[in-house]
Amino acid sequence: MFEALVAQPPDALLGLIKAYNSDSRAKKVDLGVGVYRDADGNTPVLKAVKAAETILLETQDSKKYLGPEGDIGFTTRLEPIVFGARHRLAGRLAALQTPGGTGALRLGAELLHAARPGTKVHLGAPTWPNHAPIFRAAGLAIETHPFADLATQAVDFDGVRAGLARAAPGDVVLLHGCCHNPTGIDFSRTQWEEIAATLAARKLVPFIDLAYQGLGDGLEEDAWATRLVLDAVDEALVAYSCDKNFGLYRDRVGALTVIARDAREAATTATNLAALARVAWSMPPDHGAAAVRIVLERPDLVAMWRAELDVMRGRINANRAALADADPGLAFIRDQRGLFSNLAMTKAQSQALSGRHAIYCTGSGRINVAGMQPGDAGAIVAALRAEGC
Ligand code: PMP
């Protein structure tokens, strides 16, 4: 049976983690893996989450099955955070809890395939390397257009316009709601306005990937673009992850929300989402989403979570400023948002950074700015200069 299988390359980030861990140099910098780190290099459990987990431990009296939609309290409490306290989408939403943002993207892709087999998804390049494989695995077709130019560190808006102009009505367009991975480059407000108008005029369906809300400019600010687009179009999908903004990575906490044209289509969509989840994972893991629900149910824990999010965002943006201050050539990093920036470098240069300077980033030049510790900016800038990056 398994003889015909061809060995698959290991996840590149796992190799990077291994190489970093086995590096015995006293001073090393991990800008590789995409998790938030505090000034000591740790990724702690948030205090608000710990408090919610304590409540969960004390009050949960059963672990009997929930349904394929997961914890409905979780998805309901998430709604005002993502769509706004006074959103006007009520009745048109079909939402369910998923195993992380990855599960939300995959389930959304399965739904699109069920609705219209072979639907085409337009991706800007570069994007999160998992996007195309997830959509392809569900049977969808991929078309890419340029999104940003790493040489200029700017959006290639002509490339985006051309990509959207090529798209046919009913095609899907993947958009990063904020904190673009891997570039940290987000569309300007005017660019978002043009994109929203184009999507609406050309009947393109946005699939918004919102995995870093609150880690860019703030909870409301980071949802601005998503809300603008949803105001403009009739139909959309939103894949949401709580894994970064609640620090729940391994607990796999996400949600997929489909915005349908009307209540009838939303209800039918909800039954399809449940059926697709049933044959994929039956129901999502409960613990992390239950902890998020408890945080969102309690004003004291919401305040605690928001304060912790402010600290994370403040540290990320302070690290950005430190790099920009250390080298005028890196000024663009200050204006980018989220965990990542993507420096223009070759694979050989990234290997030289780790080999000669013990500074680890991905082979494509993506750096996690939250991996920096106080005082690292100078060493990073010196190493980048030494390697001609
Ligand atoms: N979308 C983007 C853009 C991401 O960066 C990530 C995580 N790296 C995800 C989705 C998936 O997040 P999760 O870990 O919740 O599956």
CATH number at residue 125: 3.40.640.10
- Looking at the domain assignment, is residue 53 inside a domain? no
In this prediction, residue 61 carries a pLDDT of: 96
- Looking at the domain assignment, is residue 307 inside a domain? no
In this prediction, residue 316 carries a pLDDT of: 98
User: Looking at the structure, do residues 238 and 95 belong to the same domain, yes or no?
Assistant: yes
> Which residues make beta-bridge pairs with 95?
257
CATH number at residue 344: 3.90.1150.10
User: Looking at the structure, do residues 286 and 191 belong to the same domain, yes or no?
Assistant: yes
Number of domains in the chain: 2
Buried b (16+ CB within 10 A) or exposed e, 46-64: bebbebbbebbeeeeeeee
User: Looking at the structure, do residues 146 and 243 belong to the same domain, yes or no?
Assistant: yes
The residue range of the domain holding 21 is 12-44+313-387
- Looking at the domain assignment, is residue 161 inside a domain? yes
Examine the pLDDT at 9 and tell me if it is beyond 90: no
Tokens encoding 162: 């051309």
Locate the ligand 1 atom nearest the alpha carbon of residue 252 and give its number: 15
Q: Output DSSP code: residue 208.
A: E
In this prediction, residue 144 carries a pLDDT of: 98
Q: Which amino acid makes up residue 36? A: Y
Cα 8–chain centre separation: 25
Q: What is the mean pLDDT of residues 289-293?
A: 98
| ipTM attached to this prediction | 0.99
In this prediction, residue 157 carries a pLDDT of: 98
Q: Provide the pLDDT confidence category of residue 224 given band limits of 50, 70 and 90.
A: very high
Q: Rounded to the nearest whole angstrom, what is the distance from the C-alpha of residue 61 to the centroid of ligand 1?
A: 32
- Looking at the domain assignment, is residue 34 inside a domain? yes
Q: Provide the pLDDT confidence category of residue 10 given band limits of 50, 70 and 90.
A: confident
User: Looking at the structure, do residues 73 and 37 belong to the same domain, yes or no?
Assistant: no
In this prediction, residue 172 carries a pLDDT of: 98
Beta strand 148-149 pairing with 154-155: antiparallel
Decide if 381 contacts 326 (C-beta within 8 A): yes
User: Looking at the structure, do residues 31 and 157 belong to the same domain, yes or no?
Assistant: no
Is 128 among the residues known to form the active site? yes
Q: Provide the pLDDT confidence category of residue 12 given band limits of 50, 70 and 90.
A: confident
Is 234 among the residues known to form the active site? no
In this prediction, residue 337 carries a pLDDT of: 98
Rounded CA-CA distance 128/205 in Å is 19
User: Looking at the structure, do residues 125 and 185 belong to the same domain, yes or no?
Assistant: yes
> Which residues make beta-bridge pairs with 25?
none
User: Looking at the structure, do residues 237 and 92 belong to the same domain, yes or no?
Assistant: yes
Q: Rounded to the nearest whole angstrom, what is the distance from the C-alpha of residue 36 to the centroid of ligand 1?
A: 13
User: Looking at the structure, do residues 337 and 235 belong to the same domain, yes or no?
Assistant: no
In this prediction, residue 14 carries a pLDDT of: 86
362 Cβ inside 6 Å of ligand 1: no
Final residue in a domain of this structure, among 297, 325, 359: 297
User: Looking at the structure, do residues 96 and 146 belong to the same domain, yes or no?
Assistant: yes
Q: Output DSSP code: residue 369.
A: G
pLDDT tens digits, one per residue of 143-154: 999 999 999 999
Rounded CA-CA distance 80/283 in Å is 24
Q: What is the mean pLDDT of residues 211-236?
A: 98
- Looking at the domain assignment, is residue 281 inside a domain? yes
Tokens encoding 6: 């061809």
Written in H, E and C, the secondary structure of 130-152 is: CHHHHHHHCCCEEEEEECEECCC
User: Looking at the structure, do residues 27 and 166 belong to the same domain, yes or no?
Assistant: no
243 Cβ inside 6 Å of ligand 1: yes
User: Looking at the structure, do residues 87 and 144 belong to the same domain, yes or no?
Assistant: yes
Residue 105's nearest CA partner among 207, 197, 249, 250 is 207
User: Looking at the structure, do residues 271 and 378 belong to the same domain, yes or no?
Assistant: no
Q: Which amino acid makes up residue 198? A: T
- Looking at the domain assignment, is residue 273 inside a domain? yes
Rounded CA-CA distance 150/159 in Å is 13
181 Cβ inside 6 Å of ligand 1: yes
* Average pLDDT along the chain: 97
Q: Output DSSP code: residue 70.
A: B
